[in-house]
Amino acid sequence: MQIDIVTHCWSGDAVPIYHKLLWLQYLSLKRYPWSTEFRSHWWIFYTQTDPNTTEVLKRITSDWINSHQERLFIRPMVLPQRRLFRRAYGRNVAAMTSVADAIWFTDVDHLFFENSLSDALKYSIEAKTEHDADLIWPKNVNIHKRHSLGDAVIDTAFDTGLTEIIESDFTPRRERKAIGGIQIANGDYCRSVGYLNETKWMNPVDSDHFRQCHCDKVFRQRIDTKRAYDIRNVYRVRHSIAGRDQGENNHGA
C-alpha cells in the first residue's frame, strides 16, 4: 500500500522561512514510525531560482540517503517559477502520475506524526469502498496556540533538529472542510481526472511569489462525496508572516 505526500516550497528573500519549514516536515517524516505495511513518496515541487530551498533539498537528500530509509522516498520536482506559483499545476503532475492508493496534498507547514499517515491511508480506502467518497480530511489539526510559538520552532529547529513536540503549545482546531493543506484524495480518482487537469488552473501565473491558492476550493467543490475522519497526530506550525503577502502583513504574536 502507498500514500504519497505532495508539497510545494518557495523561500524567497522577502520571507525566507519556508525552506526551514520544509526541513521540519522532513524531520517529522523521518521520525515517523513507518510500518512495513505501507510506503510513501514525498513529492517536493520547487524552482532552482530559489537557493534556500535548493540547498535544504540537498541537505534532506543527503540525510535521507544516510538514514537508509526504506519506506520513505524523496521526489524533488523542479518547475519554472511561473509553473510553481500555479500550485494546481504541480499537484496535477503528481495526481496524474503517482501510483499511490491515496495522495495527501499538503502545505509545507504541516507535520506528520504517529498514526497520521496510516490513518489517512486506511480511511481513504474505507471512504471509497463504503461511501464512494474520493476526498477525505482530518477532523482536527493541532495548531500552535500563538504565532510566536511557531516562529520560535522555525528559528531553532532548523539548526537543532525537531527533538519533540511540546503538546502544551498546541490546540486542536476543528476542520470543517478539506482546505488546501489537508486534502487527501483517492489515488484512482486522481489518475482519472488529475488535479483540475485541462482547466485554466494549469496556465502559468505572472507572479514572483505565491498568491492565494483558490484552486484548492475549486478542486474540493468538484468532488461530490467528501468525508472527515479522526486522523491522528497532524500538526501545523503557525507563523506570523506569510509568503503570499511577501511578509507585508505580520500577524503578530
Mean per-residue pLDDT, 109-125: 97
**Backbone Cα Rg of the chain:** 17
Angle at 232 between CA 230 and CA 236, to 5 degrees: 110
Mean per-residue pLDDT, 201-229: 91
- pTM of model > 0.85: yes
Q: What is the pLDDT of residue 96?
A: 98
Distance between CA atoms of residues 138 and 172, nearest Å: 11
**Cβ partners under 8 Å of residue 183, min gap 6:** 104, 105, 106, 135, 137, 216, 219, 220
Q: What is the pLDDT of residue 210?
A: 81
User: 3-245, superfamily in CATH?
Assistant: Spore Coat Polysaccharide Biosynthesis Protein SpsA; Chain A (3.90.550.10)
Residues 61-70: pLDDT tens digits? 999 998 878 8
Query: Could you tell me the residue ranges of all domains in the chain?
Result: 3-245
Q: What is the mean pLDDT of the chain?
A: 92
Mean per-residue pLDDT, 114-124: 97
Q: What is the pLDDT of residue 228?
A: 98
Q: How confident is the model at residue 164 (pLDDT cuts 50, 70, 90)?
A: confident
